[in-house]
Chains A and B, each alone.
Chain A
């Protein structure tokens, strides 16, 4: 059977739990395929020691498992590389939800399977419904067992076909008891935990519902493919608001179920407030984890920054034209809700025509729990500072007591509270506020030196003071933390801005890469190195600052990024154990390189990854632009040389004919001639035209040689005077009728050129003049130099060459003068090879001047140093 080059097809055997016979069914189907002649092999089959299953594997070719030693235990894993090498039509890989041991390419088996599908291999796999991401949480709450191994819903959604293996729970339990599923004591524990009839019933229901949903979706897809548009085609949108807590993931799963039922898409919005900017690492991880889960479910993610969570959520909802907002429902903490309004209340009030759906929360409404900012300053110092301020206020109050009222003294304490809040965290501020009130009471309010208060007026003063200092300090603390967030955002914005500016200015690959690296380093606490793709391999582009070398193992991660065109390493699904994060530098068309990012602290903050990705996107665009420019330039050159070649070849064939005709004719005439003088004449004709022919052949050969690509220049310090001198010597006899004048500056430097090529250039010019300007009486050769060029002028006074310097002139020339077309183009090529140019100009003598420009960079600047000894 011929395999298509398209993506492979995935078939999933779906069951409610282990032991329903998924593997058995899969093998049965596979056997049928095998009998039909399909190239089907077993990639990995979980044995479980079940005899009937083992018997079924026998006819299949089996890819040997990869053995990985992990903490002293040898584990058998599916060998992806071997399977890809084997490249079968269809492969059986059991247990879709399996988590691979570290040391495998992917940390999840479903990723292995994606790779197989990408390679165009069809896959049969098995899956228990509880491993589906959107149901895992539900399953654990039903059965009390936490499901660790999950598979994104998208895998099931995108499967080409599913087969539900359904047996009644009673039957399953019977099979379990009969020892057909597990052996020995495992049966008992299984019966107690997972295989309770109630749990199984629930699982079966979920399974059937999921299967129905899947079929439903397939039907929709089918209808859409038939272009039967119905109400579902414009799918309805929902916005889910989550916060950094353990509830987030649960909300996401719930939303997924709701969305699936309503056939709507979900955007998850996460509003980062100033408080949230100070999240503990654990909370940070919680939210990032939840957002990744959301992404896996196919949700879009919207990160927003702001103080007003409700307005940010509503902004997203309006922007996406969402019909519904989902938030967690607050359960406890009613008093606080009553006093300050819960977020849900606020949302309901301000949501206008958008529906708000409250879904059950956990024990506590923790969705938007304000987080006490973590203080980075050493506690002792700030605490001492707070109490010192309180003491100072008390001291000041004592001085002022005779002159002012108690209210004024309380003002001093409030001032103190503000000072404390400016420098310390909330805890210190609260402590300082309480200490202040106690001091005020103790030192200044009658009865003095006791904490009792007689005058009720003072009670109000005290209460007011405490509340004012509390709210002030909390306000100041908030402003401060907001500043920090703004600062870090600004840092990111700045990095992006700078990247944009520097990248647009960069003109070479190196400059682009350096600009990208600089921008990424601006994000702080990072090190970054860039690798570029060269000849289908990764080569170092810009080295990292110093911190890390991309060693062999890490390099392998970078290679995976290059091959798969997705991010890998830290914080990703692929090889998360790597020392750094590896991101592709790519546009839709092409991958240009890999960016390796490593943190100076031990983890990479998830929130800067999108910024890095943005920078890399810009970088890739710049690299693409550069590649396109280079390509355009190259093809321009190719077109030019191509047209030149055609021109030259057509002229060459013409050029050859003239001397050949003369030689042939003259030779014939010699044979019949009787007059010795005539013979002499013909002989000299033959001689002259042989020389011409030989020159043509020589030029044609060099043209071919120069055309083949840049020849290796044999650069050596040469004296132009010498080279011209020997060329003149070569043509001494031809030049006897002319006055040859040379004019060289005294301090003429040596030049670094290829002597043979330059000789050819000069000789060509002199020869051209000899042949085409027969009437000429002079040959003036002068050399001059300025800051950029050394210029050789070779001038005659014969009416030689048509006066224009366009390529089209060649044709004219060659019709008129033998061989000059080829000669001139060779001159141009040689001058160009030396970083110079070759021009033909008419001159004051009525003749032609050939001007050869050579870059002064090739000239020896201080030639005097060679004159000694």
Chain B
């Protein structure tokens, strides 16, 4: 009996070790399968991060070739409007033809809409994460893999606006001193998060105030040009654009409004993608530490879990200031609100103010 008792431990340990080896080799085999599949496919079409550009893609291609021995022909297009990109995927899926792009990205509520439309290929991202990739990068509910996140808030020209004067709340956008000085993004759904936290009446009042102050509502990039030319010294924008402005030599600073607002942008593989393995390989590389470095260096955004980019600094600074972190995709109640009928009605009202409808 004693012999059996003593034997149990070594037998259990042996079984455990064997099981772990099998699991480890399965994990390794899965990434290896993807690499082998990507080699056969040889090409991939991606519509992601609009700021990455050809230099970013060339670097991505070189690093993937060096790391995995796969020289992928990467055909890149900026993702552009998320709703339009989703509409293309839905119409292609309905027509029964392969998706035009093997890999694309969405954020927050568009991700949820894509999932609800049933056009995303289910991918076991967690099984194929590269070493060093945080496990929180996987959004299992949306079949998506976190590529980068950005803070939303107020960028200002420190040469023109004093630190103490800059708005700290969205309610201050209607203050007279900001008349003809403010630009803001025109993505109505992004204001829903402000409504979720502060209440819809406050947000509608704030946006109407900004409108009455002749605020220019346009895309992030168009407003950045207005900011860098010195025309408009304060801009409600995404943190990557502040990094962009700083890189160009502008003395730009940041102030989060009301709370630390964080949005996540995640990669998805549409159903019917022609080159799914190559798509997954690109996604897991970009989500990993080395791929994130490419995003940080060339498009000024990255995963907040990795240090070294302005979004991370802002998030840390907001934490020290005691601002509450709000990230819709991580908050089921926030996502519920964004996708609810109330949210959609509010979004229309916001759109009416922004576009003067």
B and A form one assembly: no
